Each structure stands twice: as structure tokens, then as C-alpha cells.
Structure 1
């Protein structure tokens, strides 16, 4: 199928976002290390978490090409809106378009339900529209939260090849970038796959977990289906969550939440294939078009069952923060070639170590942390 099957199932079982809780955690995000700096140590959301929480593939090609100039970069390609009409069978009215993004409401009203008895081409058009909505709202939402970019035409044109892309690493790259923006700038509105972040918080920090959600299935984020956080004033709730985070200790964090037998009973077997699990332990670039972030798991090794040594110096990629696709379309695999090649050669950057029972920090780490 498309590599998005589990995400599509999850789409019917989403839960409401607890914005104050997520905002309080983002305040702990350090863009330099791509980790949350907690009172007890560092932790972060990794490719392993994306695989378990959303059921997305992580071991495939990077999600990167160009944004709108299809007729320039594809042999026989057509101008963007010509191709849009060919692939989806209809064009949105001008008042539903902002530059190269289309309002979600138009997609929902136009492609809400495929007609009974539709021919194969109509079914494919509705499938393309559904996938564009899924990507544009659940994984790669922008700050508006209500527009879908046409960059996905290049991918939905070949539905049979969509499972050849690492949607999980692209989603994590976008989440990292959105949190870095909030941490580095005066950005108030959060964006990105925030349900992924919230589900990770619930799984790893039992203190913040809502009561009554003990049963779960696959993917693991579906555990919180129907969760509806308090609608009370956000400001005081943010302060409450931040105070609780300030009081966290090491025992309040579950380093390896997916090692329990209950999780192993429901996990999809494909997730545990070596080609996926090796990437979880990889220090490499995460790529989403012009967005490049760093999967810095060498700073959170207890999340993978290893004692944390003194961490290596941080790789400074601040200069990549300004490269987000604005300012002209490009063939990003060439414009950012070094990082794309790094992803392709990820096998050279896999950390190899034995899992231990005692995840207490090493002496040199304690000296460094103190």
C-alpha cells in the first residue's frame, strides 16, 4: 500500500491536543542538542518512538525533492495547477487557494466520500486527495493548521511507490524543526505532528498520563483515542505543567516503554525488522525537503538500553535553520547534498552496543552533568 496504512487507521482514533502540556514540554526543548533538558537528565523523541507511536516506516528514501516546479524537475512534467487537475480531476476555486496551498475545507467538501460505483480513475483521485489531507494535517501541518500544500502531487502521482519513502523520519524532522522555531524565536503557534509528541509524553511520563486508558492496540498512539483534556484557561495550566516538570526525578521517566510484554503482543512485526531497528540507533540527518535536523540519540542512550557516557560535542547546524524552502524552489537533494548523502549512508552511523539492565549514568557522565 502507501506506507501510511497505520496512520490512516489512527486518523479515525485521534485525540484532542493538550496544548498547555505540550507547550510546557517544548519550553524544555534545546535546539542545539535536539533533546528535552529535564531536571534528571536529557531525553528526546526518536525514530523508534515514531515507529511505535504512529506505525510509520523509517527505513526508506528521504522525503525530499522540490515544492512546486514540477515542469522544471520532472521529465514531461506539467505546471503545478495543470498537474493538480490531471491527478485530482478538479481545480479549487481561487478563493480556496493561498499561493501553493489549498484550504482543508475544500478538500473535505470535495473528496469527503467516494461515490458508490466509482470507476478506477475516480477512486485513485479520491485516494490521492485523502493522502494529501492525511499528510498535510496529521504529519506536516503548518501553523495555519487548515491548508494543504501541493508539494505532495509529486508523490501521489505514483501511489504504488509511496511505501518507498521514510515518512517517519520526515515527520520527526518536521517536529524537531517546529520545536526549534518555538525555542529560538518569538513563535507562539505550535505546528507539526503534535499528537505524536503528546502520545510520547503520555507513554514515557506516567505522571502526565490521563487515567482510564490502560488498554492499547496498534499503533500505540491509538491508546489515547477519545482523550479530551480540560478546557480551562490555558495560562494557569501551562504554569502548572511547567512546575510539575521542574519537580521530575529519574524515576518519573520510563526509559524503555516498548520493552514490556504487553507492547510486544500488539506491535506490528514489520517494525521489528533489522532494517528499521538499526535506524533507531543511528546518529544521522533527518530530512523533510529543505528541513534538515539531527537525530542525536548518542545523548539519550538509556532510551535504547545503554549506560550514558559523557556525550560528544554538539554538532552545530544552526545555519540550516533558515533553510526551510522559502525563497525559491530548488532540487533539495542537490542543494543540501551533504545531508542527503549522510542519510543514504546511515548504516555507517549506527551505534552498536549491548543492552544492560542497570541504566544508571556512568561516573564521567555524572561529573559532566553536575
Structure 2
């Protein structure tokens, strides 16, 4: 009996998820146009990226409004989706089952500036690009350390039939760079491929020793966390992983008619339509324990050295991106029960124990990493130089007011906002304010003598004063304040009282 934990809670989740989101996330609709050549397969298997290449060869469509409602419920503090039934998230287990990527091995990092560390020879990165791929892109196709996808696809889109082994190897390198730069680690532009992958494709036989799955998950976490900024509306990263995870976890949202299972599991939804199924539970905690999945899963995935990493709380590294894999918040996805109070009751068992040293400074490994990725200089050298070496002018050390050179005087600049406000509400200096105040005093004198007409009872005012009073009334209707320096008269039937 395989345990499949299901959460049924009526139509509440459907309303919660399909409530109109604040914005619609846009993304790339098609990653690339390079075809998978059979001659590339040995190199892809050597790099343990063949399963990802099979996904790339199929049609992939992302329903952007559908993904938007999920992204709006992503919590960047915990890297989880907050739902009415609890928290859930994409884990390393999902990456293995959905994309078939390795999660054990070295973390993915490096620096093109120190290219000689990874490949022997002190050549610059673009010279290695020409050596490894056989051609150098023109200057108008280069953006810093990235190449336009259009040129990349036109140059390496189809390997010649009569190509020798070295040419096939070059085209295989280009295909792998495209695969990493578009399927797993795409940026928001979607039209360029970074050359940071040159040190990896230069040694295809060593690419299998890297944890491509953890790096892809770290990049997906970072891309969704960036969307916490309401001004960001474009989503990058391994979106095929996100879409397939939603379909496997939320059966109500998966398309109908896709019941065939294949490896990797994300290939199940290739070419799907937008028809939503109305059957099945609303959330499945453990979708990978069914017999149908176990029949198609790759045997290497179920080895203990891999399954052990699915439950580890660790850091996910992708170059300078470091995100946390917090599976302790989603224990039901592994068959456990989420007892938050147990963390406090067992607090004494989780005290960190470490050696106290005399110099707790950063380690040499950290300094090497920071030297490659960190920004050591915050401003040009002219601002960071030692000011003691700058000679002091003679005029600066002379004493006496008459011997000190004159300082440059900056002309006064009027604050336009204050000028406009004064013109609107009036000041003692404004001609308009005095005329308004004179008119108020005249009306007060006439009211005290009892011989004048009151405002609002048929009296007709002429000249500038009448027009000014009309302007003041318009400003009151527009929300203007009382004038400064005077007393506003009563505009009702008792103006002189």
C-alpha cells in the first residue's frame, strides 16, 4: 500500500487561487530552436543532462495567468507557497523527479576572470570561446559576457552531416550551453546565452560531478523572490519545473487527457491544452509514491545517496545566488506531520556546537570566493586614494580673513513648489492678498454703517476685486487652503457680522 496523502477542503482553494491577481507574470513562451542531434547524446549522457535535453525537444507552453496566481502566494522569507492547508514548496525531490537532474555533487560556481584556474592556459574567455566552439561571434552580437540567441541558433542550429568528431564535439558544447542558458538558468531577457558555461563544457567528462538540480532550484527560488517587488512582472528560471510541479501537486488544475507516464515526469504535459480537469483531489502531498511513477522512474534516482539529500536543510548555490532549502517547513510532502511545537520542546537538542578560536575571521575559502564574486571597489581609485599624498595649497594655510581666497557663491535658487503654493494661497507680499483684504475691510465698514448691500443678496461687485473673489471661490472648490496673513470673510448671508 502506497501512502498518498490528499487534502480536500471544498472550493475554497479554487476561489483563493483563481482570485484575480494583482498582476500577470510574463515569461518566455519558447526557449530555443536548436534540434537535438543523435550525435550529441553521448556527450549529454556524459554530462548527465540527457533527460533535460529530451524535455527541451518537446513543445513547452506556459499559461502565464495561471502561474501568476501561484507566484502571488510565494513567500520569499520561507521559500514556500502559503495555502489554506499549510505550506508547500518545490524541493530537490521535485527537481529529480520532474527534470531528472542530479542533485549530488559540486556546487555550480566559478568566475571568468580567473579562467586559468579552470582551464590551463592564461587565455581570455573570448579566446577560449573561439577555441572550444570554433568560431567567434561578431561584435554586434555580444553583450558584455553574453551572446545573442539568434546568432547562437543560426551558427549551431544544425550540425553538418559530414562533420568529424571534433566538429560534433563543438556543436555538442554549444547545445549544452544553450540548454543551460535557456532551460535552467534563463534570464528575463530570454535572448542571450552567457559564456559562463565555457569552463564546464571544456571538460564534458567532469560535468556529471556537479549538482545541476540544486543550482536550478536556487535560481528558481531567486527568480520568484525577485517578483516580491511589485514593479517586477517578468519571470525567468526553470519555468517548466514550476508548471509541472503545479500539475502534479494540484490535480484539479492539471489538463485532462494526459494520463501517460514517461521519464522525466515533466514530459507528461508536453503540448497540453488549457482544459482544466474537475476530478481528483485538490492537493496531493506525495504524488511520487504511486506504482505508475515507480515504473518509469530512473533506477539511479532511488539510490540512498540521492534520496538522503531530498530531506536535507542546506544551502543551494548557483554562482553568487545562495538560497535555503527549507524542507523542515513542508514535512507532509515527505510523509511526516508538521508539529511546530516540537521544535520548541526539543530546543536543547539543537544547540549549535563549535570550537571557539582566537581569530573568528573569515576562512581562506570564503576569501577566495569573495575575491572572485564580490565587489572589492565601491568607487574609483581617485576617491579611495590616500588623501595625505595630495599637496595642500598655500592659500589654504594662510591666516586672516583678508588673505583667504574668496569662496564661490552659489546663486539662490527658488523653490518652485513654494512659489506656486504662495501664489495659490496668498501671502502678505502678494498684491492679490492686499486687494482681497481691502475689499473685506470695505464690506465690513458698509455693514457697520448699515448702508451697504450684503454679499449674496443681489449686490454686484465690479473690477478687479470681483474677479479676485471669484478666483478665491474657485480655489476653495479645488481644495485650496485659507490665505495666509488675513481673515477670510463670511461668504454667507452675514458677511459683515
TM range (shorter): 0.7 to 0.9
> What is the RMSD computed on CA atoms of the aligned residues?
2.3
Instruction: Determine the structure 1 residue equivalent to 2:161.
Output: 116
Larger radius of gyration: 2
Instruction: Determine the structure 1 residue equivalent to 2:370.
Output: 335
Instruction: Determine the structure 1 residue equivalent to 2:305.
Output: 275
Question: Measured at CA, do residues 67 and 291 of structure 1 come closer, stay the same or move farther in structure 2, by a change above 3 Å?
Answer: farther
Is 1:106 the equivalent of 2:151? Answer: yes
| Native 8 Å contact 1:15 1:228 kept in 2 | no
Is 1:174 the equivalent of 2:219? Answer: yes
Instruction: Determine the structure 1 residue equivalent to 2:239.
Output: 194
Q: Secondary structure at the match of 1:115?
A: coil
Q: Deviations over 1:5-46 (max 9, x none)?
A: 100111112420111111111111111101001122100000
Work out which structure has the larger RCO, using CA pairs closer than 8 Å and 6 or more positions apart in sequence.
Answer: 1
Q: Secondary structure at the match of 1:286?
A: strand
Q: Deviations over 1:274-330 (max 9, x none)?
A: 1110000000000000000000000000000111110769xxxxxxxxxxxxxxxx9
After superposition, where does 1:128-167 map in structure 2 within 5 Å?
Answer: 128-167=173-212
Shift of 1:229: 4.1
Q: Secondary structure at the match of 2:323?
A: strand
Q: Deviations over 1:251-278 (max 9, x none)?
A: 5110000000000000000111111100
Looking at structure 2, the residues matched to 115 and 73 of structure 1 have their Cα atoms a distance apart, in angstroms, of: 30
Following TM superposition, where does structure 1 have runs of at least 4 consecutive aligned residues deviating by more than 3 angstroms? 71-75, 330-333
Instruction: Tell me which of 40, 43, 47 is aligned to 2:85.
Output: 40
Looking at structure 2, the residues matched to 300 and 114 of structure 1 have their Cα atoms a distance apart, in angstroms, of: 46
Shift of 1:77: 3.5
Instruction: Determine the structure 1 residue equivalent to 2:270.
Output: 225
Structure 2 length normalisation: TM-score?
0.58
| Native 8 Å contact 1:281 1:297 kept in 2 | yes
Shift of 1:204: 0.4
Shift of 1:117: 2.3
Shift of 1:334: 2.2
| Native 8 Å contact 2:146 2:194 kept in 1 | yes
Q: Which runs of 5+ in 1 are unaligned?
A: 231-240, 242-250, 314-329, 338-370
Q: Secondary structure at the match of 1:83?
A: helix
Looking at structure 2, the residues matched to 8 and 68 of structure 1 have their Cα atoms a distance apart, in angstroms, of: 29
After superposition, where does 1:18-57 map in structure 2 within 5 Å?
Answer: 18-57=63-102
Question: Measured at CA, do residues 151 and 332 of structure 1 come closer, stay the same or move farther in structure 2, by a change above 3 Å?
Answer: farther
Q: Secondary structure at the match of 2:316?
A: strand
Instruction: Tell me which of 42, 58, 62 is aligned to 2:107.
Output: 62
Question: Measured at CA, do residues 14 and 62 of structure 1 come closer, stay the same or move farther in structure 2, by a change above 3 Å?
Answer: farther
Q: How many residues align?
A: 303
Looking at structure 2, the residues matched to 157 and 16 of structure 1 have their Cα atoms a distance apart, in angstroms, of: 32
Looking at structure 2, the residues matched to 132 and 77 of structure 1 have their Cα atoms a distance apart, in angstroms, of: 22
Shift of 1:152: 0.2
Looking at structure 1, the residues matched to 153 and 321 of structure 2 have their Cα atoms a distance apart, in angstroms, of: 28
Is 1:284 the equivalent of 2:348? Answer: no
| Native 8 Å contact 2:255 2:273 kept in 1 | no
Shift of 1:185: 5.3
Looking at structure 2, the residues matched to 7 and 13 of structure 1 have their Cα atoms a distance apart, in angstroms, of: 10
Q: Secondary structure at the match of 2:93?
A: helix
Instruction: Determine the structure 2 residue equivalent to 1:205.
Output: 250
Looking at structure 1, the residues matched to 214 and 96 of structure 2 have their Cα atoms a distance apart, in angstroms, of: 9
After superposition, where does 1:308-327 map in structure 2 within 5 Å?
Answer: 308-310=338-340
Looking at structure 2, the residues matched to 68 and 132 of structure 1 have their Cα atoms a distance apart, in angstroms, of: 19
Deviates more, 1:115-124 or 1:154-163: 115-124
Shift of 1:73: 6.5
Instruction: Determine the structure 1 residue equivalent to 2:10.
Output: none
Instruction: Determine the structure 2 residue equivalent to 1:236.
Output: none
Instruction: Determine the structure 2 residue equivalent to 1:345.
Output: none
Q: Deviations over 1:170-193 (max 9, x none)?
A: 000000000000014521110000
| Native 8 Å contact 2:109 2:320 kept in 1 | yes
Shift of 1:332: 8.8
Structure 1 length normalisation: TM-score?
0.78
Question: Measured at CA, do residues 169 and 332 of structure 1 come closer, stay the same or move farther in structure 2, by a change above 3 Å?
Answer: farther
Instruction: Determine the structure 2 residue equivalent to 1:318.
Output: none
Shift of 1:68: 4.7
Instruction: Determine the structure 1 residue equivalent to 2:55.
Output: 10
